[in-house]
Amino acid sequence: MKENGMEKLSAELKKILGGSRVSVREPMYLHTSMRVGGSADLYLRPRDEVSLMEALCLLDERQIPCHIMGAGTNIVVRDGGIRGAVLQIGKDMDAISSDMDSNSLTAGAGAQLAAVAKYAAQKGLSGLEPMSGIPGTVGGALFMNAGAYGGEMSQVVTRARVYDRAAHIVRTISVYEMRLGYRSSIFQAHDEYIILSVMFSLKRKDIDSIKSKMRQLAKRRNSKQPMDMPSAGSFFKRPAGAFAGALIERAGLKGLSCGGAMVSEKHAGFIVNTGGAKASDVLALMRRVQDAVRAESGHELEPEPRIIGEDV
């Protein structure tokens, strides 16, 4: 997309989507927890669902590719940035509500999962405790079927409202239609489905016991994971019959670095940004870890974060 064309499209979108954030050549390291990545040609953060749908309609009409993202906690953007548009669903679409008669909770796709878990705890609704420390949004968590400490989204989600870009309608789909598996969902294969909100089915429980469990898990997480350094969370998916962190540590890779990227000395399953890392550092280190683990144990490690964009 040419610079002049981007400026014109940006001005048009600002006029149509009053109140939504629209910018050109937006540095993506500002919007990812790994703190790496080049610029997106066009960056949008819609103020509401209507603005989201209007923006997508215009982009589709102009045949401009669009990447949808949440909090950017499970994404690595390459150093060359992203051609086309990035649409970030965040705090402008983060409403949370509950129905205590049915023990259900509904959250906008932009709501932080940790905030939803905290809201549920205050209502005496249990089920989200294992995921209370997962960074990122509800939409992103459902997209990846995120999980931790024996819990995952598939266990508590009942349905979701999605915008179908192909049909230009909002539809409700059940958890069975989502095909939720280990870090997978129908949304990864069908990018025309944009998650708008998610409904959870939870269970009544004593508020103090819910909060106590959340504190225990937070203490466990803080003691074992490098929470003080930029990362994309657990960098590798769990291979069959093993744990990625244990395999990496067994291969003697803790502390291995490439540029500003390093295998965490606290938890080998994390690649951290020690300061000034480039995406190329992160990806080069990823490949070195994959090669070493394959040679040592025969296991193939797959990255958990989505790797998007172009190289320089």
Q: Which residues are catalytic?
A: 183, 234, 304
SS3 of residue 166 by DSSP: coil
Spell out the residues 6+ positions from residue 236 whose beta carbon is closer than 8 angstroms to its own: 244, 248, 269, 289, 301, 302, 303, 304
> How far is 148 from 135, CA to CA, in rounded Å?
11
Q: How far apart are CA 37 and CA 310, in angstroms?
A: 9
How does strand 75-77 pair with strand 306-308? parallel
The full length of the chain comes to 312
Nearest-5° Cα angle at 252, 247 to 257: 105
Give the ranges where 241-278 is alpha helix by DSSP (H): 244-250
Nearest to 293 by CA among 258, 256, 259, 249: 249
Pairing relationship of beta strands 257-258 and 261-263 according to DSSP bridges: antiparallel
Q: What is the dihedral of CA 62, 23, 115, 226, to 10 degrees?
A: 110
